[in-house]
C-alpha cells in the first residue's frame, strides 16, 4: 500500500506540474499574440493617422484602427483637421514614419490593453501649394512643411468583436 500511495503522489505532482506548465505556455502564447496584434495595429494606425494629419486626406479609413472617441479626444489630430492646420498650405508627397513599442501589457482574458509608444515622423517631403507660393516668397510662411509633433504616448487599446482598436492616446512628452 505504501508503494501505491507513493506512486499516486508522484503521478499527481507530475500532472499538476505539467498542467501548470501548459497553462503558463498558453498565457505566454496569448500575451505574444496580443502584443503582435497590437504592434501591427499601432504601427499601421499611427502611420495612417500621420498621413491624414499631413496630407489632410479622407479620415474614413481611420475607423478601422481607432474608436470614434479616440479621434475626437486627440488634440493634434483635431488641430491638423481644422482650418488653422499648420499643413494646410503644403502639399505633402511623402514622409518617414517610425513607431517604437516601448511597453505593452494585456492579460489574455481581458479585452483591454495598455501600451507606451514613441511616434516619430523623421522626414516630410513636400512643398508650398501653388496658391500660397507668393506668401512663401514674401517670407510669411516657410517653403517646406513644418516638423511633425513627435511624441511619446500612453495608448489604451480595446478589443471590439475580436478586433483590437486604439481607444485613447494620452501624450506623455514631446520627443
CA distances from 162 to 13, 78, 149 (A): 37, 28, 32
In order, the DSSP letters of 33-98 are HHHHHHHHHHHHHHHHHHHHHHH----GGGGGTB-HHHHHT-HHHHHHHSTT-TTTTEEEEEEEEE
What are the domain boundaries of the chain?
2-174
Q: What is the pTM of this model?
A: 0.83
**Residues 112 and 106: beta-carbon distance below 8 Å:** yes
Specify the CATH architecture of the domain 2-174: Roll (3.10)
What tens-digit pLDDT sequence spans the chain (175 residues)? 788 889 899 999 999 999 999 999 999 998 888 888 889 999 999 999 999 999 888 888 898 999 988 988 888 898 888 888 888 888 888 999 999 999 998 888 889 999 999 999 999 988 888 887 887 777 778 888 888 899 999 999 999 988 899 999 999 998 8
| Predicted pLDDT at 26 | 92
CA nearest 69: which of 174, 165, 173? 165
At residue 43, φ and ψ (nearest 5 deg) are -65, -50
In whole angstroms, give the CA distance from residue 122 to residue 175: 11
Amino acid at each position: 500500500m505504501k508503494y501505491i500511495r507513493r506512486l499516486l503522489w508522484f503521478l499527481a505532482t507530475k500532472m499538476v506540474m505539467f498542467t501548470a506548465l501548459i497553462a503558463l505556455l498558453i498565457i505566454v502564447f496569448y500575451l505574444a499574440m496580443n502584443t503582435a496584434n497590437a504592434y501591427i495595429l499601432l504601427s499601421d494606425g499611427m502611420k495612417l493617422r500621420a498621413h491624414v494629419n499631413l496630407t489632410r486626406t479622407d479620415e474614413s479609413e481611420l475607423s478601422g484602427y481607432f474608436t470614434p472617441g479616440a479621434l475626437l479626444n486627440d488634440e493634434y489630430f483635431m488641430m491638423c483637421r481644422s482650418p488653422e492646420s499648420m499643413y494646410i498650405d503644403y502639399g505633402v508627397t511623402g514622409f518617414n514614419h517610425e513607431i517604437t513599442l516601448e511597453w505593452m501589457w494585456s492579460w489574455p482574458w481581458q479585452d483591454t490593453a495598455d501600451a507606451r509608444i514613441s511616434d516619430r515622423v523623421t522626414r516630410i517631403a513636400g512643398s508650398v501649394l501653388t496658391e500660397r507660393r507668393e506668401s512663401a516668397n514674401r517670407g510669411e510662411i516657410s517653403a517646406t512643411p513644418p516638423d511633425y509633433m513627435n511624441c511619446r504616448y500612453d495608448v489604451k487599446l480595446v478589443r471590439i468583436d475580436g478586433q483590437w482598436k486604439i481607444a485613447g492616446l494620452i501624450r506623455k512628452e514631446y520627443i
